[in-house]
Homo-oligomer: A and B are copies of this chain.
Amino acid sequence: MGLSTVDAPVAPKAGGIDLLLHLGAADMVAVDALVRERMQSDVPLIPALAEHLIAAGGKRLRPLLTVAAARLCGQGLPNARKLAAAVEFIHTATLLHDDVVDGSSLRRGKVAAHLIWGGASSVLVGDFLFSRAFELMVETGSLRALNILATASRVISEGEVLQLTRSHDLNLDQKVYLEIISAKTAELFAAAAEAGAVAANASEVEVAALRSFGQKLGLAFQLADDALDYGGVTAALGKNAGDDFAEGKATLPLLLAVHRASGEDAAFWARTVGERRQEEGDFARARGLVLATGALQATVDLAQTYANEAKAALTVFSQGPWRAALEAAADFSVSRTA
């Protein structure tokens, strides 16, 4: 009797994000019900517009992070579910406002809400969801969680404004680019995980570890997204690749490729991104350049570095299915690019 060290618990061999989705399924059904309940209003346009975006779904990675963090710390429900719903509302509000700001035409594979109901409705329904998020947080009675998510919302808006003012700068410093994605993306991942730990009354070490995990995961996620917009590192193009290039958005693959370009290639970037004069075939050439210069691989490598740091942050927790699932999610965020 007794387990030999060989028999010590081993993290299940997780396939990407599936383990986390599987473990969190029951919680997320409850979170989804809460989201649908609280997006209701006597003003019919509000649930109609919210439903359009929320039904489109996606993986609900951010609220999933909140319930996973609480579960990893051993408790925290139903407050963790309320905070998860609040996180989803903040995220959805941000998407609604972003799409108006960017003039985007697609969101979660559907026509962007502002093109159906107008920009004014998207702005106001975003405000509604944002307020609802705070009402939900108040219900948990946790001033600490409120503070975490209020600060996150403020930092996100700062990141968005910074991006707005610098987004077409071909000479944007890599440091500023990382500041932007830290604020506009990683902050909500960090706050989502931290709030879940707080809901579980976790120790300060655990709270800090989960915040760090969320922050690094968010960075890895955004870097991978930016790489995917150039089709990832394999030959097969992602379906929606090319949007960032078309908008002349200063993401890391572009910034590195521009930095490494000279002569004709530099002139190509100046025309297509600097002056936004693009012709057919330009994206294929842009993609060729981000691949050939190693800019794309460098972006993916940096994403993997952050994913590794995310996983390292979890070593304060014992091995177990939730930790394994979060580790696999970190790797998944980068493996999407291959």
- Which A residues are closer than 8 A to B by beta carbons? 41-43, 45-46, 94, 97, 100-102, 119-121, 123-125, 127-128, 130-132, 134-135, 137-138, 141, 143, 146-147, 150-151, 153-154, 156-158, 160-162, 164-165
Contacts and interface: CB of A to CB of B under 8 A. Distances in A.
A326 B285 CA distance: 69
Contact of A97 (B42, B94, B102, B127): B127
Contact of A164 (B121, B130, B143, B157): B121
Which 5 interchain pairs have the tightest Cβ spacing? A131-B154, A134-B150, A101-B120, A131-B153, A128-B157
B42 A158 contact: yes
Given A134-B134, A135-B150, A143-B138, A158 B43 contact: yes
A154 to B, nearest CB: 4
A158 B100 contact: no
A195 to B, nearest CB: 13
8 contacts: A41-B161, A43-B165, A46-B161, A101-B119, A124-B160, A141-B143, A143-B143, A146-B146
A135 B147 contact: yes
Contacts of A123: 97, 100-101, 123
A118 B101 CA distance: 9
Contact of A157 (B124, B143, B151, B158): B124
A3 B158 CA distance: 60
A97 B120 CA distance: 8
Given A120-B101, A124-B101, A157-B128, A134 B146 contact: yes
A153 B150 CA distance: 14
